Amino acid sequence: MTPAGQVDPACTGHARQVADAILFEGYLLYPYRASAQKNQERFQFGVLMPPAYRSVDEHEPSGTQTECILECPADAQLTTEARFLQLQRRSVQARSADGTFTAVGSLQAGGVTHTPFDEAAERNYRATAPLSELLSGGTETPFTIPGGTDEEDVAGPDGQVVGRLVRRREELHGVLRLSAERLPGPYGALRLRVVLENRTQPAGPLARRADGLPFALVAAHSLITVPGGRFLSMTEPPEWAAAEVGACVNTGTWPVLGGPEGCTELMLSSPVILYDHPEIAAESAGQLFDSTEIDEILTLRTLTLTDAEKQEARSTDPRAADLMDRLDHLPPEMLERMHGAIRYLRPAGGPAGGVPGAGAARLDGVPEFREPAGPGDPVVAGQAPWWDPGQDRSVSPETDHVVIAGVRVARGSKVRMRPGQRRADAQDLFLAGRTALVEAVLFDVDGHVHLAVRPDDDPAAELHAAHGRFLYFAPDEVEPIGAS
């Protein structure tokens, strides 16, 4: 039983796993080597630059604002933990015969090549305040993250020091502001506002992004807890709170219910847009720093690196070294687990929570398919999934039709493609005006109609059709050609 005044440790532990994935999202990218351009000009979500950087790029923020709705008792205590990375710049120095150290571009010792690189250290700051203070004007808590320099000797094969790695961190300054206001109406709900700002003032001018990053709060996000309270979902609020949720202003972050299903005392405010109760996929073998990518693809690609490329990755960053070691010794059964999993099946008419992970956002994802594997699986148990189009005789893609501009359109009809404005893929512009053959008319569970079409002038159309791959259009995005 959780002690009074505390949030269930299982809830916070679950949320922290996801928060850790966010913390290192984009920290390193395949092929995980410092020589790769993508790891020289790095970008992560939630970078809060010092205010002076606005003169370089006015679009880089120095703060975030989170607003959400909650219900809690009058004596509640709210805790906000701001989490981020502090950049530490690693340089390499070689030792000369007279014992002095000089900066170099690389240093080889013991079969390892040491190179300069921007690493990162995890940082957090926690502020707790009673609800009464938040309602009476709020709190403003400044914090300082100290800078410093660490030195690590590099020894040669004979054990003699041949150089050293120097890691330097700049001092960071920030502020965490918390406030709340009582909402009108009979429910007694509150709007909570959390503002995290970077107030670091660099001593010298900033000319480019690499100059500002040592003074930035990188991958900034926050965990907000209120023991005994209840946060409301920002994506699926109750009807009475929908207008108030819509009035919340979130800048640079998006708050979601953290922890497992049923946990409402914790809110995760993330620079990455997530669903409520996000979780790490059970099939994930570990951090790949591309946390919303497909583990299987990244793992297979990493395993194709040559020994020299893997060695360079190991020299780039300690976290890259751990990744290479883990994948080199990955058991075959772990790789097979990544090959896919069904998450959406549940007994007909049953609750979404009946299957672990149903309706939750998954990080470190895997393809969403797998044969049923256990007695708890709804299919194995002899229960059909909530909808099986192959068994539903009310739909027949090969014979169904739809009427467009007075013309009956079905399989075999000719149409002209007219991609609509709601499409986000710029390549759809190349389809405008081209003719296509309708291969199927599909109805989804929401009653929407989709046309599977095959472009007439696509040289690979027959190959795609053999694999069941088509282009899909809504009825108002095609123009019938002649009678069906």
Residues 158, 217: Cα–Cα separation, whole Å: 41
**DSSP state string for 17-54:** HHHHHHHTTTSS-TT--TTSGGGTS---SS-B--GGGG
Distances (CA, A) of 144 to 51, 101, 187: 16, 31, 39
Give residue 359's pLDDT. 38
Give residue 354's pLDDT. 38
Residues 464, 471: Cα–Cα separation, whole Å: 10
* Cβ contact 223:176 at 8 Å: no
Residues 114, 214: Cα–Cα separation, whole Å: 21
Please list the residues that pair with 88 across neighbouring strands. Answer: 119
Q: Give Dmax over CA atoms of the chain in angstroms.
A: 91
Cis status of the peptide bond prior to 31, with omega within 30 of 0? yes
Please list, residue by residue across 361-371, b when 16 or more beta carbons sit within 10 angstroms of its beta carbon and e when fewer do.
bbbbbbeeeee
Give residue 191's pLDDT. 96
Give residue 383's pLDDT. 47
Q: Give me the average pLDDT of each 10-residue run along the chain (484 residues).
A: 71 91 89 87 89 93 96 94 96 93 90 90 95 95 96 91 95 97 89 97 92 95 94 94 94 94 94 91 78 72 89 90 88 75 52 39 48 43 50 72 91 91 77 92 83 90 84 92 71
Query: What pTM was computed for the model?
Result: 0.71
Could you give all domains of the chain from N- to C-terminal order, each with its CATH number? Answer: 9-280 (no CATH), 401-480 (2.30.30)
Please list the residues that pair with 278 across neighbouring strands. Answer: none
Residues 376, 206: Cα–Cα separation, whole Å: 58
* Cβ contact 308:41 at 8 Å: no
Contacts of 366 (CB under 8 A, 6+ apart): 281, 283, 284, 294, 295, 296, 337, 338, 339, 340, 341
C-alpha triplet 164, 168, 170: angle, nearest 5°: 175
* Cβ contact 430:461 at 8 Å: no
